Chain A
Amino acid sequence: MIPMSWYLVIAAALFCVGLFGVLSRRNAVGILIGVELMLNAVNINLLTFWHYYIQVNAEPPLNALVFTAIVFIVAAAETAIGLALIINAYRQRSTVIANDLNLLKG
């Protein structure tokens, strides 16, 4: 089948693409999309190690599945609250460009 390093490398690549999106996007929704990609990369890693653990130890590590589920929950929460904040900021300032949301700047 597939060597484990392939999964780890693809997860690292996905994480770095997400990191680039978070750092470079001007649109706040684009930044959130980058965060989603990073969270997905983490989930790929978690499930890869879950598979590896079963294979090596022949017993299921349920902690890994619970951990992954919690990453899912936190991702859903983060997106919901982030998008609500962006919509609210758009109502107040008519922009979603992160650089222009500088109301607190002295």
Chain B
Amino acid sequence: MTPMQITFILIAAVTLVSAVMAVTARRMMHAALWLIATLMGVAMLFATLQASFFAVVQVMVYVGAIAILILFAIMLTRRSTLESDQASLGSGWIINALAAVGVFAALVTAVWAWPAAETVLTELPKDAEQLGLLGQIIADPNGFAVPFEVSSVLLVAVLVGAIYLAVERKPQRGGRQ
């Protein structure tokens, strides 16, 4: 057991425990806070993979934006969340848990059947991530310029649509209030 492996096991334990709490916690607010713990754990896993850029992006996009968005949504739908405290999981949850365990068993079998999975990941050279090249290839028409622009348009369309859906419209004249 190297120190790195012990660190990995600690991170993995934190991530998995908080993930399980995030899907089983009775109060949605607690579930969202456990989700934040899970996302931070995943960011640490990215850091152990030496993907430092995506570790930072994970913290900024997931913890900074998505988790806060989920917290807002939970607070805006608070009344119904409180009413549903008694049964946070549906009636068939045992069957669902068995299905999830089955999928997990299948995936682990597939990993075991693959000899290369035992490869020990070694430390990469310092500049292995090559972010400069990534920036160039994203803007390169022969590289990924089209997917990049399409995803920008997707984001803009989605955000405009989300505002349109979520904004509260007052009735024009008369009506209630």
- Are B28 and A44 touching (Cβ within 8 A)? no
Task: Tell me the nearest residue of chain A to B164, going by C-beta.
Answer: A84
Secondary structure of the B contact surface, majority rule: helix
Our pick among A8, A60, A66, A86 for the contact of B117 (Cβ within 8 Å) is A8
Question: Contacts of B117 on A, CB cut-off 8 Å?
Answer: 3-5, 8
Q: How far is the CA of A13 from the CA of B154 in the complex (A)?
A: 30
- Are B51 and A32 touching (Cβ within 8 A)? no
Give the size of the chain B interface in residues (CB under 8 angstroms): 91
Task: Tell me the nearest residue of chain A to B147, going by C-beta.
Answer: A70
- Are B96 and A86 touching (Cβ within 8 A)? no
Task: Tell me the nearest residue of chain A to B2, going by C-beta.
Answer: A1
- Are A30 and B90 touching (Cβ within 8 A)? no
Q: How far is the CA of A33 from the CA of B161 in the complex (A)?
A: 21
Interface residues on A, range: 35 or more
Question: Contacts of B10 on A, CB cut-off 8 Å?
Answer: none
- Are B90 and A99 touching (Cβ within 8 A)? yes
Write the residues of chain B forming the contact surface with A, with a CB cutoff of 8 angstroms: 2, 4-5, 8, 12, 15-16, 19-20, 22-23, 28, 31-32, 35, 38-39, 42, 45-46, 48-51, 53-54, 57-58, 61-62, 65-66, 69-70, 72-74, 76-77, 79-81, 84, 87-90, 92-93, 96-97, 99-101, 103-104, 107-108, 111-112, 116-124, 128-130, 133-134, 137-138, 143-144, 147-148, 151, 154-155, 158-159, 161-163, 165-166, 168
